[in-house]
Structure formats: structure tokens, C-alpha cells
Structure 1
Amino acid sequence: MTDAAKTAHHAVTPTTQGLDAHLVVERGSFRLDVALTAAPGDVVALLGPNGAGKTTALRALAGLVPLTDGHLRLDGAVLDRTPPESRPVGVVFQDYLLFPHLSALDNVAFGPRCHGASKAQARAQAAEWLDRMDLAAHAGAKPRRLSGGQAQRVALARALATRPRLLLLDEPLAALDARTRLDVRAQLRRHLADFEAVAVLVTHDPLDAMVLADHLVVIEDGHVVQEGTPSDIARRPRTDYIAHLVGLNLYKGRAEGHTVRVDGGPGITTTEDLTGPAFVAFPPNAVTLHRDRPTGSSARNLWRCEVAGLETHGDQIRAALTGELPLAADLTTIAAAELDLRPGATVWATVKAAQTHAYPA
């Protein structure tokens, strides 16, 4: 499905097919208030910092947490008061929760057995799912003899074996090491692409969300702060959390033509022509640092800053700067050494207007 088609059907609340939910959950002083809609075939990622309410939302969809208010409909059926075991929902938990005393085959067969299949039918279905996951050779293995990636795929097969209309994935890659995560993420993307119902993924990892999901819903403090396609959110972040997530310097202010006057700060020159409240963003690698004020620079933006901290960021050095405009700047190790960067040093930061991106707030 094209991004345009996905955006179009997300704009319309589904009435019969797919997910239509307004999740309101009050627990002590915390209140979750999140609306979610998705059509069959969609993969929606709930993204947000720890404590934002992502897992609470997932547990409400599964029926493990009761709604205080709102509604939950799946393919037109009202599930608000349906017990968890009666919902057409499959769940893959962060730590998989495989039955340690059962083989991989019997773990996957457990769901179909609970739904009325005979032992032979359930095992046949389980064998088919393990084969799809490239795990046929491990059908007789107990969970303790499986690698993290294999256990994750067994858990996914177990969830899919009941043919759910809603698949919930709670940090499905969090328990894997970096190398395994790369491989399993690609496999999971392939399986989700073939899934014909709605999938909802909870993660705090932006790469998992960007790779696996068609639509992102960013939650902070129990509320949706931004939603859209991965590319739209990466290009137009609307909160500091999202900007940090996608690696951008982000500022909010008021635009007058090609200048955005930052709230409580300087103006930033941009190529966009806007009027009114606006955001302006640019990546750390768009920032050039100088120990002395540059005289012949073509950059339209120039700020005096102080180095607050330095840290390794991939194969580069990321400098945290304070001053006229707090920002992050990326530079090579050699450049950092030549500039003799150290905490407390004064530097001048320049950014070309063409490397900024302004958009309405």
C-alpha cells in the first residue's frame, strides 16, 4: 500500500474493518487518553519515552487493563468488556513468556488447542508455522535450548497460530543482542508485511519503529503528541523528545518571511517563507564550528556558543553547546582535535539556511 493510501485511510475512522479505539485508562494520578485507528494490513507503532503509557495502551487493547472510558472496536465488534481469552488478539511479550516445559512445537500448538482444535490439528498447524519461521529443525527443542532470535520467532508463531485479528507486540526485539536484532528485525518486517490484520507494536527504539511500522503514534505523558508516517515524523518533529529521537536540533518560534525568531532566543534564517508560529530544525552535522568568529563564511546563521560536553557518537564526536542557541553539533575526531574542543571552550557555530527546515507549528 502506498504512503498516500495509508494516510488517506488513517484519516477516516474505520466502521467495520480494522481497529477503532479510544483508550482512556486512569491509574492513580496517571491518565492515558489515546485514540487509535488502523485498517487491516496496517502496522502501527506506539513510540514514546518510558512511562509515557505505551504498555498501558497495549494492555488495554489486550484486555489486561480495563478501560475507564472510551471504546474498543475490532472489525466492528465491541470488545470493551470482552475477557482477554475471548478476544481475537495475539500478543508477543518482551520476554516471550514461552512455556519452559513445552517444546517449540507444543508452545505454538497451545493457542489452537485453546481455540478448540484437536491435538493432531493443533500440532499440524504449529508445524506449518514453525516451517514459515524457518524453525522446523527446532520443533522438539525446549525454550532453554533456543537462541534469543529463535525464541522470539517461536513466540511470534504462537501468537499468529490463532489467526488473530489484532497482533500486539511489546518491545519484541528488546531482549536481543545488536547482531541478532538486525537479523530478526528484517525477518519480523517480512512476517508483518504478510499479516492481513492489524498489528500494533510498542517500542522506544526509533529504528524498530521506522523499519517495522507504516504509521507512528508518539505518546508522551499519556497523550498523543504526534502521528504520521515514519518519514513525515522524522522530517517534521513536533516535540523535543521526537527531535532527539530522530537526531535533529529543533526550535519553536515565530516566522516572519525567511526568519524564525526562536522563543527566548535568536533568529534563524531559513529558505522557507512562512508567517506565524513555526518549528525550525536542522541535523547536528549541518553545524560547522569555529574557534574564532568567521569573517568570510557564506552561512546565514552564526551564534556564539560554549562547549558544555563532548561524547562519542558513532564514528564522530557530538558536541553539546550552550549560549545564544543551545544545540548539538557533530564533527570528526580530527576536527575536534584541531579545534581543541573541551568543556568550557568558546566556539562559533554556523549553519547554512539551505540546511535548515522550517514548517508551521
Structure 2
Amino acid sequence: MTDDDRRMAKDDRFMTGREKKASSPTSAPAPAPEGQEGLDAHLVVERDAFRLDVSLAAAPGDVLALLGPNGAGKTTALRALAGLVPLTGGHLRLDGAELDRTPTESRPVGVVFQDYLLFPHLSALDNVAFGPRCLGASRAGARAEAAAWLARMGLSEYASVKPRRLSGGQAQRVALARALATRPRLLLLDEPLAALDARTRLDVRARLRSHLAEFEAVAVLVTHDPLDAMVLADHLVVVEDGQVVQRGTPADIARRPRTDYLAHLVGLNLYRGTAEGHTVRLDGGAVATTTEDLRGPVFVAFPPSAVTLHQERPGGSGARNLWRCEVAGLETHGDRIRVALTGGLPLAADLTTIAAAELDLRPGAAVWAAVKAARTHAYPA
């Protein structure tokens, strides 16, 4: 390995290369003690006025996604897992070993950074071969290993190509191959699709899902994109202001969001209140009727598509929920018009363009918002 290679590894904080000799670059790590496989972390990091306090656990083969808004602490958590940020407290165990006591360069961790950090002076093949070379493989052995990984990524024909001539999707796959070539026990992906355009994301997301499904150790994905999290991860940990606010499967979180941030991500109107049977007195004074029979603190959620708007108070018993509202704004939302409402109950409604035009909706216009009880979903808070 040249001096330039070593310098690049240090400057770019490339986490897949470890300056530690090994007998074989392709041999699997020693098995963990029984019952201790996987990730067990309590990450406490204090920096200025910000405090991260997040617990994570995942078994080998799991893909865990950290989801949250900008500034929530997701990237700080990933950097703590990688050893780039020291823990203030807590612990970090991987396969039973105290990882927070292991030097950063010796951790069995692979990282795919948001901007990939490919070495610009190396070909795709040599970028991937860099990790095995750091583990003690011969030049020929490392390049053979790298060629195999590029083949798995469908990039064999780009082996001699340097990063500047790769597309965004190709660069992402080279970065993933480079991270996997050292057989890490923990794979960290920092917004791996953020640098791609919308069309490329579809293809790369599908490919990444396939590769992660074959990964036998723990993978942690950091993202603010709910679709990436829902498609790629087995379990979600939602972080806001440095704290875990919800955790569960993608289906659980999509159906039962517990914060306004999550409700917005999954496209739901969300309210908190107190249930007495089928009646829920919402915080703020409005009342909602649901099909669930509950008692005590609850959340009530329903999609914008469940809301119908009327210029006059609708008669009949079709909709059990009626609120007098005012139009606060309108915007195009896919093939629909998203109407923001204030007044009796702040909410969002999705209408067809024709329906919006017939109602002659304008900011400040008074309307009645109606939602059938069967379209609501109530669950304990």
C-alpha cells in the first residue's frame, strides 16, 4: 500500500480499512459467545447544548433504521457507532465485545458515507481492494476479492473506471462493495441514497434492499426519508431531539405514529385526547367519534383522503365527525389538492382537482370538514 493510500484513508476517515494484519482477508470474524451476537448499544453523547441518549439493539441479519428530522441526532449516533465521536456515557457492544474500548481503526465496522468518499485517484477495483489490503491481503488477493464484490454489484465492466466517471448509482454501489469487502460485523449507512436523483433512487433502493437481505451481520441505516426506512429496514428507531420517541416495525410505526413529525411523514392527521368509549375529547377542545371502544389517553389518526369538505353543514348520519373550519392554504399534492384547514380542528384534506374547483376553495373560506368514524383509527397513547 502506498503512502498516498494511507494518507487518503486517514484524511477521509475510511472505516472499512483497518491497519491490523490478519491471516486471511476473507475469513469470518471469530464467533461471539452464545447469546451475545449482534449490537447492544446505549449511546450517550454530550456536545455543547445537545445531548444524545439512544439505546439500540439488533441481531445479526437485522437492518435497523434511525429515522428523524434534521438535527435529531441520527448522524451523531452513527458517528458514535463508527468510533468517530467518543461516548460520554453508556456502552457499545458488538458480538459481546466492548467496542467503545476498541480503537476506531480496529473495529469490525464498515461505513458507507452520504457522499461515498471514494478515493478519486483509484479505480473502482482498487477502491474496493483497499480494505482487504489493509487487512493484510496481497495485492493480487485483494484485487481478486474486489473483483468478486464488483461482480456481485453488477459493476464488473467498471472495474478500471475512476470515481469521477461513475454515475451516482454506480458510485454508491462501489462504496457499498468497499464497505462489505472487509466482512464487517456492523455496516453503517449514512443517508446512502441522498445524493441520487429521484429516478436513480428507485433502482438503487431496490438493489440495496437485495444486498442488505444477504448481509449476515448487523446493518444500521441513518435516513430522514421515510420511504428509504420503510423499504430497507426491518426495525425503525425514531429519534427527535436526541431521544428515542418511538420504535417498532415499519408497519407498526406507519399505522400508529406517536408524534406530529411521524404523522406528517406517513401522511396522517394525528391528535391526542382522552377517550370515553367511542368518544374522544381531543386536546384543544374538539370531539371525535371512533369505532374503537377505549378509555383514557389515546391518539386518533386518519388520512387526509378520509376528509370531505362541504360549503353547508351536511345532513344525514353518514359522517359522525363534523368540524367547522377555515381554509388556510392549498397546494398540489400528487394528483390531488392538499387543503390545509384551521378552526374547529386543524387538519389536512386531499381533494380531487374537480372537487376543489366546485367548492371554490380560497384562503379564508369557511367550510365543514367531515370524517366517517370508520375512517378514523384510535389507539392508546
Out of 143, 164, 182, the residue aligned to residue 123 of structure 1 is 143
Residue identity opposite 2:245 in structure 1: V
Q: Distance in 1 between matches of 2:317 and 2:116?
A: 55
Out of 55, 69, 72, the residue aligned to residue 89 of structure 2 is 69
SS at match of 2:129: helix
Partner residue in 1 for 2:204: 184
Out of 267, 271, 286, the residue aligned to residue 306 of structure 2 is 286
The answer to whether structure 1 residue 203 and structure 2 residue 223 are counterparts is yes
Partner residue in 1 for 2:7: none
Deviation at 1:32, TM superposition (A): 0.1
The answer to whether structure 1 residue 301 and structure 2 residue 321 are counterparts is yes
SS at match of 1:298: coil
Partner residue in 2 for 1:347: 367
SS at match of 1:80: helix
Deviation at 1:15, TM superposition (A): 4.9
Residue identity opposite 2:140 in structure 1: A
SS at match of 2:117: coil
The answer to whether structure 1 residue 229 and structure 2 residue 249 are counterparts is yes
Partner residue in 2 for 1:267: 287
For structure 2, the 5+ residue unaligned runs are 1-33
* Equivalent residues in 2 for 1:122-271, closer than 5 Å: 122-271=142-291
Q: Distance in 2 between matches of 1:192 and 1:359?
A: 33
**TM-score, scaled relative to structure 1:** 0.96
Partner residue in 2 for 1:327: 347
Say what the alpha-carbon RMSD is for the aligned residues. Answer: 0.8
Q: Distance in 2 between matches of 1:275 and 1:114?
A: 60
Partner residue in 2 for 1:317: 337
Partner residue in 2 for 1:81: 101
Residue identity opposite 1:92 in structure 2: V
Deviates more, 1:221-230 or 1:110-119: 110-119
Q: Distance in 2 between matches of 1:301 and 1:15?
A: 51
**TM-score, scaled relative to structure 2:** 0.91
Aligned-pair identity (%): 85
- Post-superposition, which runs of at least 4 consecutive aligned residues in structure 1 deviate over 2 A? none
Q: Distance in 2 between matches of 1:174 and 1:56?
A: 17
Residue identity opposite 1:204 in structure 2: H
For structure 1, the 5+ residue unaligned runs are 1-13
Q: Distance in 1 between matches of 2:270 and 2:104?
A: 42
> Can you list the C-alpha shifts for 1:209-256, whole angstroms capped at 9, x where unaligned?
000000000000000000000000000000000000100000001000
Deviation at 1:260, TM superposition (A): 1.1
Deviation at 1:295, TM superposition (A): 1.4
Partner residue in 1 for 2:64: 44
Deviation at 1:296, TM superposition (A): 2.6
> Can you list the C-alpha shifts for 1:249-295, whole angstroms capped at 9, x where unaligned?
00001000001110122111000000000000000000000011111
Partner residue in 1 for 2:54: 34
Q: Distance in 2 between matches of 1:82 and 1:311?
A: 52
Q: Distance in 2 between matches of 1:20 and 1:154?
A: 29
Aligned residues: 348
Residue identity opposite 1:332 in structure 2: T
